[in-house]
């Protein structure tokens, strides 16, 4: 929701980034304020995941230009774990498996690490078990997932739910959901969307990266952006998503080219 007195959470100006020496992000601008939900859409390979990982601080991506302020501070001065503790959360498009590490143990460590940063009490294993089971109910997750290794052998949809579970636990300031909807059946989509809607409030913000407008039937965005070749080339309201669904991306691309030529 757009609020009058909202604070700027994320301010991206002219962001450029390389991977393996190839420029992927080519001058990206985006402003996200508290309370807002943004959707970023765009064809495969346009740089959506790259943008998410640059924000989270993955070392394979080299920032070559532009600025990113998170709550007014230079995001690039923080190590990846510091960004996470400060409230930047990324739900991965492809969550990695960590064999041998029990999910419950991992979840508790991440929860307690972030709680400690916020000056709040850490939970012992028993307290945490109660806490996490409540959160899992919300996402209709089977508690058996606590005993398994992190993401190991999880189906695509189960991995995504595990991501949203972590988001629900960590209560981030800025959550970036990278194609969390892809690979989910309708029930899972509804459950995950409920989880996201439950969490959204006037002090935090969400960025949903998605291909499909169907997610936006469940989570209503305040802004829809179209990304192409490492740039945001069009921004509109929620109706833009519907238009993209029926007309595809080509017309946006053509429009933006024409506008650039005119300028």
Ligand X SMILES: Nc1ncnc2c1ncn2[C@@H]1O[C@H](COP(=O)(O)OP(=O)(O)O)[C@@H](O)[C@H]1O
Residues at the interface with ligand X (CB under 6 A)? 19-20, 24, 42, 44-50, 60
Nearer to ligand X by Cβ, of 4 and 44: the residue is: 44
CB of residue 161 to other proteins, shortest distance in Å: 16
Give the footprint of other proteins on residues 143-162 (CB under 8 A). 149
Nearer to ligand X by Cβ, of 43 and 190: the residue is: 43
Among 19, 63, 69, 101, binds other proteins (CB under 8 A): 101
Q: Show the site string, 187-206: x = touches other proteins by CB under 8 A, - = not.
A: --------------------
Contact 45, 214 (CB under 8 A): no
The torsion angles phi and psi of 36, rounded to 5 degrees, stand at -90, 150
Q: Is 52 a residue that touches Mg ion (CB under 5 A)?
A: no
State whether residue 28 is helix, strand or coil.
strand
19 binds, among other proteins, ligand X, Mg ion, none (CB under 5 to 8 A by kind): ligand X
Q: Is 63 a residue that touches other proteins (CB under 8 A)?
A: no
Contacts 24+ apart (CB under 8 A), 22-27: 23/64, 23/230, 24/50, 24/61, 24/230, 25/50, 25/51, 25/54, 25/230, 25/231, 26/229, 26/230, 26/231, 27/65, 27/66, 27/230, 27/231
CB of residue 137 to Mg ion, shortest distance in Å: 30
CB of residue 249 to other proteins, shortest distance in Å: 29
Residue 4 buriedness (CB in 10 A; 0-12 / 13-18 / 19+): exposed
Which residues contact residue 14 at a Cβ distance below 8 angstroms, ignoring those fewer than 6 apart?
A: 27, 28, 29, 65, 66, 67
- In whole angstroms, give the CA distance from residue 160 to residue 231: 26
Among 34, 49, 162, 213, binds Mg ion (CB under 5 A): 49
Among 8, 18, 31, 105, binds other proteins (CB under 8 A): 105
Nearer to other proteins by Cβ, of 166 and 213: the residue is: 166
Q: Is 166 a residue that touches other proteins (CB under 8 A)?
A: yes
Cα 82 from chain centroid (whole Å): 17
Give the footprint of other proteins on residues 27-56 (CB under 8 A). 56
Contact 224, 167 (CB under 8 A): no
Footprint of Mg ion (CB under 5 A) = 48-49, 93
């Amino acid at each position: 929701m757009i609020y009058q007195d909202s604070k700027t959470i994320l301010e991206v100006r002219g962001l450029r980034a390389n991977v393996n020496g190839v420029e992927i992000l080519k001058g990206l601008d985006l402003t996200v304020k508290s309370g807002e939900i943004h959707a970023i859409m765009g064809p495969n390979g346009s740089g959506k995941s790259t943008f998410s990982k640059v924000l989270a601080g993955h070392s394979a991506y080299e920032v070559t230009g532009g600025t990113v302020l998170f709550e007014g501070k230079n995001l690039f001065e923080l190590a990846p774990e510091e960004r996470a503790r400060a409230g930047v959360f990324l739900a991965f498009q492809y969550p990695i498996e960590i064999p041998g590490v029990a999910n419950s143990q991992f979840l508790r460590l991440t929860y307690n690490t972030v709680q400690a940063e916020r000056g709040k009490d850490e939970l012992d294993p028993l307290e945490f078990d109660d806490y996490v089971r409540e959160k899992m109910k919300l996402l209709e997750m089977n508690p058996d997932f606590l005993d398994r290794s992190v993401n190991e052998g999880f189906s695509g949809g189960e991995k995504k739910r595990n991501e949203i579970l972590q988001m629900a636990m960590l209560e981030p300031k800025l959550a970036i959901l990278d194609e969390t909807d892809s690979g989910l059946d309708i029930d899972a989509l509804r459950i995950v969307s409920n989880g996201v809607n439950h969490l959204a409030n006037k002090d935090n913000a969400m960025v949903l990266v998605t291909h499909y407008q169907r997610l936006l039937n469940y989570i209503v965005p305040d802004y829809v952006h179209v990304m192409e070749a490492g740039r945001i080339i069009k921004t509109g309201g929620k109706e833009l998503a519907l238009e993209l669904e029926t007309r595809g991306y080509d017309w946006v691309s053509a429009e933006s080219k024409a506008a650039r030529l005119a300028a």
